[in-house]
Amino acid sequence: MLEIPVHEQEQTLGFGVWVSQKAEHFHAYREQPDSTDIGPFFGWFCTEVNAFSPTILLKSKAHFIGNGQRPSIELEPTDHPLAVAQREGISLARAWEIVHEYLPKE
């Protein structure tokens, strides 16, 4: 999960994303999905997040948080708009704009 803080909100805006991993890192996660003692591991961001395009191949780290949950994805702290949003957060209005981009059009 890649989470973006939303200013003045407790909840974040989360995206289910894919990040490439070396085979041995992926297998370590598969063997110990409840462990917090593995990683973080480097990976290339493999998901296009349209609101911040282009996002493919951003440098990232997968933090394994245990309890069978999906890893938390941290982008390299660059000036890319998605990395800035993850680091500094976005307004509630911007979060709603992004959410509405993913809703079916009538």
Choose among 105, 100, 90: nearest CA to 50. Answer: 100
Rounded to two decimals, the pTM is 0.88
Spell out the domain ranges in the chain. Answer: 2-102
Q: Looking at residues 46-68, what average pLDDT do you find?
A: 93
pLDDT at position 101 over 90? no
pLDDT attached to residue 12? 97
pLDDT attached to residue 10? 96
- Sole residue written with tokens 């917090």: 36
**How far apart, in whole angstroms, are the C-alpha atoms of residue 106 and residue 103?**
9
| Token couple for 90 | 């976005």
pLDDT at position 105 over 90? no
* Residues facing residue 2 across a β-bridge: 15
pLDDT at position 76 over 80? yes
Q: Looking at residues 73-99, what average pLDDT do you find?
A: 97
pLDDT at position 13 over 80? yes
Which comes out higher in pLDDT, residue 103 or 31?
A: 31
Choose among 62, 82, 58: nearest CA to 72. Answer: 62
- State pLDDT tens for residues 25-41: 988 888 888 888 888 99
Q: Looking at residues 37-52, what average pLDDT do you find?
A: 94
CB atoms within 10 A of CB 86: 22
pLDDT attached to residue 87? 97
